[in-house]
């Protein structure tokens, strides 16, 4: 799709516009999280809540992680792979409550 083919929506009240396709990009189905915690157990507990939510959105969601020691605790880097962009977007909206 060329730039000319994109539809522009303009907000009359604020003068802003967004091109359809720039907010939800095709192929944007991976979410990287960084969880900082004082202990490994606390980091993994937080990751478990994210993983539970991801599996509610999509049973096929794949979660991988790595753990690093930092000065004030641990840093857990997680990668959540969804099957499509819409699932990732739904997850991000629901994860705001976590």
Residues 7, 20: Cα–Cα separation, whole Å: 6
Confidence of residue 5 (pLDDT cuts 50, 70, 90): low
User: Is there a domain that residue 65 lies in?
Assistant: yes
- Cβ proximity of 21 and 28 under 8 Å: no
pLDDT of residue 41: 97
Which residue segment(s) compose the domain that 58 sits in? 28-95
Number of domains the chain contains = 1
Mean predicted confidence (pLDDT) in 4-11: 52
* Average pLDDT value over all residues in the chain: 85
pLDDT of residue 10: 52
User: Is there a domain that residue 37 lies in?
Assistant: yes
pLDDT of residue 23: 64
């Amino acid at each position: 799709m060329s730039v000319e083919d994109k539809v522009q929506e303009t907000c009359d009240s604020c003068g802003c516009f967004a091109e359809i396709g720039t907010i939800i990009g095709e192929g944007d189905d991976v979410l990287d999280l960084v969880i900082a915690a004082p202990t490994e157990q606390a980091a993994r507990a937080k990751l478990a809540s994210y993983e539970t939510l991801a599996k509610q959105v999509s049973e096929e969601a794949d979660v991988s992680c790595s753990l690093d020691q930092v000065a004030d605790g641990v840093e857990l880097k997680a990668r959540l792979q969804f099957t499509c962009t819409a699932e990732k977007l739904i997850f991000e909206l629901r994860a705001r409550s976590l």
